[in-house]
Structure 1
Amino acid sequence: MKLSHRLVGILAAATVGVLGMPSEARAEYPDPGLYVGIYGGGTLKLNDWNLGEAPRSDRDLQPKSAPVVGLRLGYHILPQLIGEVGGAYMPLESTNGEPNTGFKYDVDLFYHLLSSDFSPFLGLGTGAHLTKDDGDLGGDNDIQVHVSLGARGLLTDHIALRGEVRDYWVDSYSTFGGNNIELTLGLDIYPFGSSAPPPAPADSDGDGVVDADDACPDVPGLAIHKGCPDRDNDSVPDHLDQCPDEPGDPARNGCPAPDKDGDGVLDADDLCPDVPGEVAFQGCLDSDRDGVYDHEDRCPQEHGLKEFKGCPDKDGDKVPDIDDKCPDQPGLPEHNGCVPEEVAKFTGAIKGINFETGSARILPSSFPVLDDAVKVLTEYKSLRLKIDGHTDNQGLADKNQKLSEERAASVKAYLVSKGIDESRLVTAGHGDTKPVEDNATPKGRAANRRIEFSILAQ
């Protein structure tokens, strides 16, 4: 146990010593590099160690903890990955107190956790422990596997100090094997040495661009501009920028393009270059947000339609309100949005359109009225009508609804048969849901059985 404490102390002191060395005293590991090493330390037996030819029943005859002295040969496969072989002499003493000769050999892979000249490392390996037939243990050869943890640092260009702890899995009297801990300290010698890194190229202004490549070596700048600054970040370096404190256009030597009205839209892109506007509207104004810019909008303070140059059309008759003499009632464009007197006669409930009782068949007495409607529709080509059918409340509501729809459709069919385009006519049935008079009297029921015409928006 005293040996264990002493070796741990040596390893810690060596690690601190390497870490504390000034950086200029340390070199870089050869890449790749060959080395030979010499080391010493001790093996600490933690439990049963069945090494020797004694019968397994004789568990009291085992090696004790022992010193280790060895040699190793290694090679940097990669800068941080090392392959190594080694062997060591182990003067063993049995539990009976007799001396025995022991050896071990190892094959290992190590990985440096850092790429610097000092680094902790991890290792994994295998090998064997051997005893000669010159003592009470007898001759033996046992396979072992082990893991390693250590640290290594260059002292000079040729020599590295190395401390290491290994945990060996060894043959034992127990089912799962035994454990030995090995503590060693040694030197690894690189016969070819290591090359000192070349001096860093000069960078007078400390901007990360070496003087040889720096177009402005005395002023910190940007690599993208070959070490020259660009204060206004307009991709034109200051020494070439005619407006170095104002972001501009590279095509204008770093100066901004003109914007006469100062609205943030350059004159070349500004549809209204003499009037301050909004970027979203290409430098123009759209006060009512209807998509028609004020300079083209006939109604700039009223949200309108593009087809009417920004003016609304409340009644939907295709005549903008600004030109519509009847803006609250759908009319005809050719009559300034109003309804001519002869057309007005065919709005609302149309008297004289009658049907057989309980049927959608039009009575012949209705034909003159419908023919007059055909004349009006023929004269006013832009006129579109909605035909609504209504009934009284006699009978079932479902049947009344169906009857009202069929009567409206019969009227449409008559008008279409006289040459009126059916796309100009729309029908609907309302059954007994919209009475205009009291269904309790014959007169009221007669008034509620009706056909209504209304002018549709264009």
Structure 2
Amino acid sequence: MKHLNKLFAVALMFAGLATQAQDSNNPWAVSFGVNAVDTKFSASEKFEHQIAEYFNVQDHWNILPSVSYIGVSKHVGNSFSIGLTGSVNKIDRFVTKVPGTVNSHVVTNPGDLSYYAGDLAIKYSFMEMIKSKVFDPFAHVGGGYTWMGDASAGTVNGGLGINFWFTDNVGLSLQSTYKHSFDDTRTPNVDVASHMQHFAGLTFKFGGKDTDGDGIYDKDDACPEVAGLKEFNGCPDTDKDGIMDSADACPEVAGLKELNGCPDRDGDGIIDSEDACPDVKGSKMMKGCPDTDGDGVADNVDKCPEVKGPKDNAGCPWPDTDGDGVADKDDKCPTVKGTVANNGCPEVSEATMKQLNDYAKTILFDSGKSTFQQQTFPVLQAITAILKEYPNSKFSLEGHTDSDGSEETNQVLSSSRAEAVKAYLIENGIDASRLTSTGFGEKYPIDTNKTRAGKANNRRVEVKLVK
């Protein structure tokens, strides 16, 4: 039975749960190190005397020069953890009181008593209370079972300790536990004496899940599957512009906070991806491009960026070939200088009309016919040349006769002679749309029909400007 109990203690050492500190990020902890058993610490003595002898290592402490405790613990929430500690030792310094005295004691060797213990404890950590990431003081209470030589007994335990965390997962643990035995005659191999047990060792925390390996546990990681930064609760900032990717409109290009993480190389307040001219400062109206000439056409599409021009002509002024102040696109006569009032075409003056009609009066027809006499062709050519100077003007050709012959005959003759002049002009380059012809016969004489000279004046072709 004795050996069975010892085997049970060893099993506790490897399967038990230790009380060293851990947290919700790393809920499990494994501790191992050395322990010291001080049998002088007894409730039968005054507390001040016990404290005075607390560090009397040479006289009272029993220490094995090897790893002598081990365990694993589990955090259960709100700074509490629970577990068991398994430990072994050898008692060769056993403190007993001198009979008949109050504080006198004597240290004896009880025969190198074997020591095994399995202890359950509930621990409360003050680390969160003191807002420290290095110092972790704690208190614990619990109970256990101890074998001391041939004796064994249950104990009620309580104590204090502190962890010094070198990293988030590794720390140095120091702990003192008072174990009170209720059957304490302090007789070796008969009962288990109340005693103090001290622990010093290393604690390793583990069990925290960090899927993306960024050092931030999944439960605190806002982006648990993507490696990120602590300042962004585990979310990434790919372009390292201080704006996490989820709030960054341009996560792969460093930018400005006021532009939602997007860059603006030219500083015009328009992000590069929306800026048609990202390297030249411009305006929002021009999609980030400048408009040097102020014509409302951005320089990047303005073929004449330094000269104002309409958008319809790519920012360039419309050409005015004849220089009359009317752009070619609006100039009915783009190669002939004219006036704005006449759509860029020259206006026919009274002097020009007089000249036309002076020529027209000299047009000679064969008698009673609408064919021209030979000497008339130079006159017709002169009229043609004048009409070509006014390509946008329209003219009416009016035929007249004297009163010789019947009125019906004269009407037909006047119409055919006006039509003959029109036909000649068209054949020589005058647009037909610009000309009309009509005959008035003998209705509108300009001289008397009683004399030869008067009749000659009445036989005529007149040129009228159509407005």
Give the TM-score normalised by structure 1: 0.31
| Structure of higher CA gyration radius | 2
